[in-house]
């Protein structure tokens, strides 16, 4: 996706508003030029003591032009901004739509804060592109051409002078302002990002920095970086100022040129004196209208950068091969096998899983345990085809995940993640996610099964489930999984926030409901694993032990030691 096609497509959508904006802008520009032309002409005419009615006609003209100009300027602003903000709004939505198929892969590359900065900040700065770069030049060229044609009616030489000045304003000055600008801008951006990162680190690592006596040094570095940044910003702003000042000078210089040329032409008898004041004012106004041109290149630069960042975001991440048509058989529990599975996220310097072999028979109950960061969650994500293994393969009922359509895997799975998403709304909305026709009785009975009977179906749920405790969120997610169909249960520490008693009760309920299904539990605690068909112990992405509880305890190996350490912990956080 090229950055320009993004914007072109957006603009095509709003073409009507854009056309109206251009039209209004043109009228406003012409109106302005006409207004000053008329007043210059009027005052010159007045010197000849003309009949009063000429004057009245001219004054009325001046007034009407003034009103037309103000009104069409209003129209231009309104329509161009409406078009722009509609485009931005559409860009944001389409950005999200593009992002959706890329999760969770994209989080290996980008952090959500950065993505937010892009969708909000970068999209926002694109408004400069639409408002100042894309169509204002169209308006300006139209106004310039009309003015030049008008001037040509009085003197071809004055018109030629205006053409030359126009070229200078449109080509020479912007490139002058752009001189070295690209480099300065880049520098400002880099320095700003670096400073912001360093400040963040100062705050995050504050206590450690204090204890290690590093604060003073860090502060000094920050102060230096801050001064550097201010200097670079000054330099960048200085470039802009040069452009603006040069344009202001050009504006006056053009009226000077018209004045001098006009005086010469009048002396030569090629121009009537009565038009001199008018032409001087026309030239001046025409260039004042174009004041934005000087800064056009830097806005262009800025928005190009923003557009590139946006396009990059979605481009960088490989969307993966298209989904194959294979589907998971609907009947019966699912058997899973992992063969020599290694998974390494693109930017990671080591794999999160390496050479994992697992056989999970249909209908069996498996627990995966191990320290945080061992790769437990990654196994679930690979089974769900949220990632594809870097090496090796995963088979569900004998079919490799590469052959299966991801949605068919999801349709057969009941999943509770570590971080479950809840809609803002009511409990009911969040339970009916899989099936909108679920009856209240069914939902209420499931709620009581997961010990959430105290919650009514109409109780509100805030964004991210903010009004629910962690334990309530976990139970709600479990209820949602129970209500969803599927013979494969993938449960990632689903009860870690519950007290021991409730945890036991809820686990029993889930185990009863899923007794004939394949279940994989990721467990943080090592209690209650006695009934599992298989316990898999992971460390640093590798399976270090596997077997039943009794086997592992008898072996007195890794699991046994973990169990001892857990016993040792007198009081958790």
Partner 1 sequence: MSRRSRGSSLLTQAIAPYRTARLLLGVFSLIAGAAIIAQAAFISTIVNRVFVQEATVQAVTAMLAALLAVIILRSLSFYGNGRIGQFLSARAKSTIRGKAIRHLAHATVPASLSGQTGGKVSLVMDAVDEADSYYSQYIPRMAETAFIPLMLLIVVFTQHWHSGLIMLLTAPFIPIFMILVGLRTKTKSEEKFAQLAEFSGTFLDALQGLVTLKIFGKVKRQEQDIERSSLGFRDATMGILRVAFTNTFMLELIVMLSIGVIALDLAFQMLIYKTLSFGTAFFILLLVPEFYSAIKNLGTAFHSGRTSMGAVKKVEELLQDSVSADDQAELGVSEAGLAEKSHSLDAGPPSIALADVSFRYGAEGFSLHAGGVTIGSGEHVAIVGSSGSGKTTLLHLITGLLRPGSGELLINGVPLQEYSEAEWFGQMSYITQHPYIFSGTIAENIAIGARRESSREAIKQAAEEAGLAPLIEEMEHGLDTPVGEGGRGLSGGEKQRLALARAFLNRPALLLFDEPTVGLDLHTERVLQRSITELSQGATMITVAHRLHTIRGADRILFMEQGQLIDSGTHEELAKRLPQYAEMVNLHQGGGFR
How far is it, in rounded angstroms, from Cα 26 to Cα 483?
Answer: 62
CB of 444 to partner 1, least distance (A): 20
**d(Cα 476, Cα 459) in Å, to the nearest integer?**
12
Nearest to partner 1 of 39, 401 (CB atom):
39
The answer to whether residues 27 and 141 touch, using CB atoms and an 8 Å cutoff, is no
Which C-beta is closer to partner 1: that of 12 or that of 500?
A: 500
Nearer to partner 1, 145 or 193 (CB): 193
HEC assignment per residue over 157-173 = HHHHHHHHHHHHHHHHH
Q: How far is the CB of 442 from partner 1 (least distance, A)?
A: 17
Q: What is the DSSP string of 441-495?
A: HHHHHHHHHTT-TTS-TT-EE-GGGTTS-HHHHHHHHHHHHHHS--SEEEEESTT
In the complex with partner 1, the residue whose CB is nearer, 146 or 417, is 417
Q: How far is the CB of 473 from partner 1 (least distance, A)?
A: 11
Parallel/antiparallel/unpaired status of strands 534-539 and 542-547: antiparallel
- CA-closest candidate to residue 153, choices 1, 312, 37: 37
In this complex, which beta carbon is closest to partner 1, that of residue 196 or of residue 359? 196
Nearest to 92 by CA among 70, 125, 59: 125
What is the SS3 assignment for 42-60?
Answer: HHHHHCCCCCHHHHHHHHH
Q: Which is nearer to partner 1, 56 or 156 (CB)?
A: 56
**Nearest distance in Å: CB 246, partner 1:** 8
Closest distance of CB 51 from partner 1, Å: 9
- Residue 333 or 370: which CB sits closer to partner 1? 370
Closer by beta carbon to partner 1, 60 or else 149 = 60
Residue 224 C-alpha from the chain's centroid: 31
Nearer to partner 1, 395 or 484 (CB): 484
* Beta carbon nearer to partner 1, 247 or 455: 247
Which residue is listed with tokens 């901004």? Answer: 81
**Could you please report the per-residue DSSP string of 308-346?**
HHHHHHHHHS---SPPP-B---SSS---EEEEEEEE--T
Minimum distance, C-beta of residue 495 to partner 1, in the bound complex (Å):
12
Toward partner 1, which CB reaches closer, 149 or 200? 200
Measured from the CB atom, the residue of 149 and 460 that comes closer to partner 1 is: 460
User: Of 448, 416, 466, which is closest to residue 457 (Cα–Cα)?
Assistant: 448
Is the C-alpha dihedral spanning 398, 401, 404, 409 positive or negative?
A: positive
Tokens encoding 470: 């962690």
Q: Shortest distance, CB of residue 20 to partner 1, whole angstroms?
A: 14
Least separation, in Å, of the C-beta of 201 and partner 1? 6
Q: Shortest Cβ distance from residue 177 to partner 1 (Å)?
A: 13
Could you give the angle at the alpha carbon of 175 between the alpha carbons of 171 and 176, nearest 5°? 115
Tokens describing residue 402: 């590469």
Residue with Cβ nearer partner 1 (159 or 498): 498
Provide CB contacts within 8 A for 79, sequence distance 6+: 17, 18, 20, 21, 24
Residue 112's φ and ψ, nearest 5 degrees, are -65, -30
| HEC-encoded secondary structure of 208-249 | HHHHCCCHHHHHHHHHHHHHHHHHHHHHHHHHHHHHHHHHHH
Minimum distance between the CB of residue 31 and partner 1, rounded to whole angstroms? Answer: 10
Are 232 and 184 a contacting pair, CB within 8 Å? yes
Question: 294: which residues sit within 8 A by CB, 6+ positions away?
Answer: 169, 173, 174, 177, 240, 243, 244, 246, 247
Q: Hey, what are 386's tokens?
A: 């949220």
CB of 82 to partner 1, least distance (A): 6
- Min separation Cβ 75 and partner 1, Å: 9
Nearest distance in Å: CB 55, partner 1: 5
């Amino acid at each position: 996706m090229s950055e320009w096609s993004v914007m072109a497509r957006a603009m095509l959508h709003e073409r009507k508003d854009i056309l109206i904006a251009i039209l209004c802008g043109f009228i406003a520009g012409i109106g302005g030029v006409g207004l000053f032309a008329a007043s210059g002409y009027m005052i010159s005419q007045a010197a000849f003591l003309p009949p009063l009615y000429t004057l009245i006609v001219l004054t009325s003209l001046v007034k009407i032009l003034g009103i037309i100009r103000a009104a069409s300027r209003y129209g231009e602003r309104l329509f161009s901004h409406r078009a722009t903000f509609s485009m931005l709004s559409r860009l944001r939505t389409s950005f999200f739509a593009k992002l959706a198929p890329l999760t969770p892969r994209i989080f290996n590359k980008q952090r959500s804060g950065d993505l937010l900065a892009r969708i909000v900040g970068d999209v926002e700065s694109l408004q400069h592109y639409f408002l100042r770069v894309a169509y204002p030049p169209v308006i300006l060229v139209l106004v310039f051409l009309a003015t030049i044609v008008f001037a040509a009616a009085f003197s071809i030489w004055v018109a030629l002078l205006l053409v030359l000045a126009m070229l200078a304003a449109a080509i020479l000055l912007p490139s002058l302002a752009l001189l070295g600008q690209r480099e300065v801008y880049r520098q400002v951006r880099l320095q700003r990002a670096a400073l912001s990162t360093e400040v963040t680190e100062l705050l995050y690592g504050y206590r450690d920095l204090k204890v290690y006596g590093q604060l003073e040094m860090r502060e000094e570095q920050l102060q230096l970086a801050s001064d550097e940044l201010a200097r670079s910003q000054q330099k960048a702003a200085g470039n802009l100022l040069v452009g603006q000042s040069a344009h202001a000078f050009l504006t006056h210089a053009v009226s000077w040129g018209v004045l001098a040329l006009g005086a010469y032409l009048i002396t030569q008898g090629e121009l009537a004196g009565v038009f001199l004041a008018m032409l001087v004012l026309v030239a001046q106004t025409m260039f004042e209208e174009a004041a934005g041109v000087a800064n056009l290149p830097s806005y262009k630069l800025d928005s190009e950068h923003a557009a590139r960042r946006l396009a990059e975001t979605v481009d960088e991440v490989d969307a993966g091969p298209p989904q194959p048509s294979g589907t998971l058989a609907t009947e019966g529990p699912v058997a899973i096998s992992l063969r020599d599975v290694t998974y390494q996220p693109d930017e990671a310097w080591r794999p999160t899983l390496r050479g994992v072999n697992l056989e999970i028979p249909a209908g069996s109950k498996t627990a995966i345990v191990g320290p945080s960061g061992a790769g437990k969650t990654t196994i679930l994500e690979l089974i769900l085809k949220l990632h594809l293994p870097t090496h090796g393969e995963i088979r569900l009922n004998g079919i490799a995940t590469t052959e299966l359509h991801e949605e068919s895997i999801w349709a057969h799975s009941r999943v509770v993640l570590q971080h479950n998403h809840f809609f803002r709304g009511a409990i009911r909305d969040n339970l009916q996610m899989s099936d909108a026709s679920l009856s209240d009785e069914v939902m209420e009975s499931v709620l009581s099964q997961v010990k959430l009977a105290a919650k009514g179906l109409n109780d509100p749920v805030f964004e991210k489930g903010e009004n629910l405790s962690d334990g309530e969120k976990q139970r709600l997610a479990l209820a949602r999984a129970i209500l969803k169909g599927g013979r494969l249960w993938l449960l990632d520490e689903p009860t870690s926030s519950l007290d021991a008693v409730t945890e036991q009760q809820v686990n029993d309920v889930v185990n009863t409901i899923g007794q004939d299904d394949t279940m994989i539990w990721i467990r943080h605690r090592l209690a209650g694993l006695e009934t599992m068909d298989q316990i898999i112990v992971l460390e640093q992405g590798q399976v270090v032990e596997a077997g039943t509880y009794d086997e592992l305890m008898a072996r007195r190996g890794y699991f046994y030691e973990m169990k001892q350490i857990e016993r040792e912990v007198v009081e958790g956080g």
